[in-house]
Amino acid sequence: MPAHVKPVAGPHVDARRPPTRGQVRPQAVAAPPLRTRDVGRSTNVRWHQATVQRADKERMLCQRGCVLWFTGLSASGKSTVAATLESILHQNGHYTMLLDGDNVRHGLNSNLGFSAEDRAENIRRVGEVAKLAAESGILTITSFISPYRADRDAVRARMAPGDFLEIYLRVPLALCEQRDPKGLYKKARAGKISNFTGINDPYEEPTGAEIVLDPYDEEHRMYSPEELALRIFDHLTIQQYLLPVPSTASF
C-alpha cells in the first residue's frame, strides 16, 4: 500500500481471498448464458484468442483486473462511494473504468425499461462489458441497484474465481428515503413510479458479498464516502489486486 494511504477503521468486511498472482488462473465455472430474451444466436461464432495475454496487461498495469460490483438501494451511496474509490485508485496509479447505472441507460441500455425482464437484460449487458474489461486487466467499478440476487449471481458465474467482488452498501430503507436526492422515493410512495425498488419492487440482499459496508460505526457515527472507499482500497491491497506502481509511472 502507498505510504500516504492510511488504513481506516471502518465497516464490516467479509473477505474471501482470491488466488494469488503466481497461481494458474482457474477457468470460470460453466454457466447458462446470461440471456433473458432471444436476440439471435449463431452456430458460426468462434472465440478468438488474443495475442496479448491478460497476464501481460496486468503486469504492465501493476494490478489484477476484477469487477467491483456495488449493489444496494437507491440513495444508499453506491455512486458516491464508487466515484470516490475510482479517484483514490487513480491517484495511486491504477487504471479503472466506472460503469454507472444511470449513465449506461443513456447509450448501451437506452432501450430498456424497469420491468423484471428489462432489469435482467440491463445487468446481463453490463456484466458482459465488465467481464471484458476485467479480462483486460482493468479495475472495473459498477454501480447498479441490481436488486435481484439471481441476476447478480449469474454475472458472478460468468467470471473466473476472484474476478467478481460484490460490494453491498447495507443502508436501511428509512435512511435512503430520508436522503432521497432525486425525489424518487416520494414519487414512488405517491404512486407516480411503479416497480421502484424498496417500495413496490423487492431488493434481495446478497448472501455472500465479499464486502459489506454499513453506514454507521459502533457509536452510530456515519462513515464518510472517503472512509468507505478507503476500506475497499485496503481490501484490494491486502488481497493483492493492487501491486506497487513504479515511481516513474505516469497516468
Which residue reads 459489506 in cell numbers?
A: 212
Q: What would the 3-class secondary structure string for 106-125 be?
A: CCCCCCCCCCHHHHHHHHHH
SS3 37: coil
HSE value, Cβ hemisphere, 13 Å, CA-based, for 211: 25
* Beta-carbon count within 10 A of 204 CB: 15
46-70 burial, b at 16+ Cβ within 10 Å, e below that, comes to eeeeeeeebeebbeebbbbbbbbbb
- Point out the catalytic residue in the list 146, 194, 224, 247: 146
Question: Hey, what's the cell of 81?
Answer: 462511494
The question of whether 247 is a catalytic residue gets the answer no
Answer for the pair 51, 58: CB distance below 8 angstroms, yes or no: no
Catalytic residues: 146
